[in-house]
Structure 1
Amino acid sequence: MTTINTSSLGSYSSVFAAGVKTDDSKASDATSISVNLNIKTDKAAAQEALTPSQQAIQQLQDQIKEAQKRLLEQQKQLATAQNSKLPDAEKSQQVMAMQQQVSATIAQLSALQGALLELMKGNVSTKA
């Protein structure tokens, strides 16, 4: 019987132990084997295999995702401010402030996407 404990699998380095058990009543020369494996399963280990260019692309893609999340949240806040029942003066101040934040996030997102395109330009193969 082979036993592998997988209950502690996570995103960090783990040690696995595998044992082979034999029925002692059937065999007089029982054998036991123990195997220890160090396996890197975290994101840093995956990035070690990437080239510097691929790492930069991955970082830009992560930053773009974060900027998109932030933009979505800001747009929700803008809609809430536009639909609020505050006096017009306060409401317009909040809406203008939110529009400025949305504009800044859109500009940042555009810059990140442009940088990503520039990095990826060298990685695109046009050969058939």
Structure 2
Amino acid sequence: MATAFATIEAAPTTSPSVTSDAANDNGGCWTTDPRTVRLLGSCAANPPKGEWIKERFGWSGAEWFAYTGYRAEALEAIRSEYGERAHRAYMAHGEPAYDQFNAWCRSPSVRDAIDAALPMEA
């Protein structure tokens, strides 16, 4: 199992504000969550399917690759859960909790995490 995804910059483990609010401590980067580690291990062993998504708007457009299936959806739900906690903490505590929210904003996307977990091709 590849472990490169766990080396991505981790978020602060706790917010500077000390409260009993569970949303104030998101426990680090979402890629270190045990559920994520298991799902990414599964992706490394059996890569998920994906599709190219194309959007057009006016004279411009965008095109990107996205992984599909239950594992990609579960990973996105975990990432979103961490983001919601960080955002709630930032809204509740303001500037002292900003580093935690900013770290989540800069955390890897689901696609980046899956790509990092896949074995390197020779």
TM-score (norm 1): 0.35
The structure with the largest alpha-carbon Rg is 1
Greater RCO (CA < 8 Å, at least 6 residues apart): 2
